[in-house]
Structure 1
Amino acid sequence: MGKTKKLIELDDEAIKILETQAKLQKRSLKNYIEFMLEDRALHFAEPSEEYKTMMDDMLQRQKDGTLETIPYSEIRKKYGF
């Protein structure tokens, strides 16, 4: 995947907030902004074909009554929550 440079303008207060968050994550401001934008962009991306196939299979098993699930209460007991 290639990379493209873009010039962005943010108000001073936004920069201060982002600088604080970057320091908390031990990142440079530039790296933090790039990370946040790329992470957010992935939320808009189309799911992979593998994921779609897996979900279609799970939905079909649920429809057929063959999907096995574990109640949340049992998971809590098992892991001590």
Structure 2
Amino acid sequence: MGKTKKLIELDDKAIEILEKQAKIQKRSLKNYIEYMLEDTAARFAEPSEAYKAMMDDMIKKDNEGILRTQSWEAIKAQYGK
């Protein structure tokens, strides 16, 4: 996959906040902004084919009445939480 350069303008306050966050993560400002944008873009992306197949299987099992589920309380009790 290729890369594209874009010029962006941000206000000084936004830059100041982003610089602080970048420093906390031990990243350069440029790297931090790129990371955040790519992470956000990935959240908007369509799910993978493997994930879609897994979900289709879960829906099929639910429709057939063979999907086994547990309540959150049961899971916490099982693991002593």
Shift of 1:78: 2.7
For 2:56, the equivalent position in structure 1 comes to 56
User: Which amino acid is 1:15 matched to?
Assistant: I
Residues 45-72 of structure 1 deviation map (CA, whole Å, 9 limit, x = unaligned): 1111111111011011011110111221
Aligned counterparts of 2:69 and 2:59: Cα–Cα separation in 1:
12
The gaps in structure 2 that reach 5 residues or longer are none
Give the alignment's Cα RMSD to 1 decimal: 1.0
TM-score by length of 1: 0.92
Determine if the alignment matches structure 1 residue 3 to structure 2 residue 8. no
One-letter amino acid matched to 1:56: D
Query: Identity over the aligned pairs, expressed in percent?
Result: 67
Measure the CA separation in 2 of the matches of 1:64 and 1:25.
47
Which position in structure 2 is the counterpart of 1:46?
A: 46
How many aligned residue pairs are there?
Answer: 81
Gaps of 5+ in 1: none
**What is the letter of the counterpart of residue 62 of structure 2?**
Q
Task: Report the counterpart of residue 25 of structure 1 in structure 2.
Answer: 25
Runs in 1 of length 4+ with deviation above 4 angstroms?
none
Could you tell me the TM-score, scaled by structure 2's length? 0.92
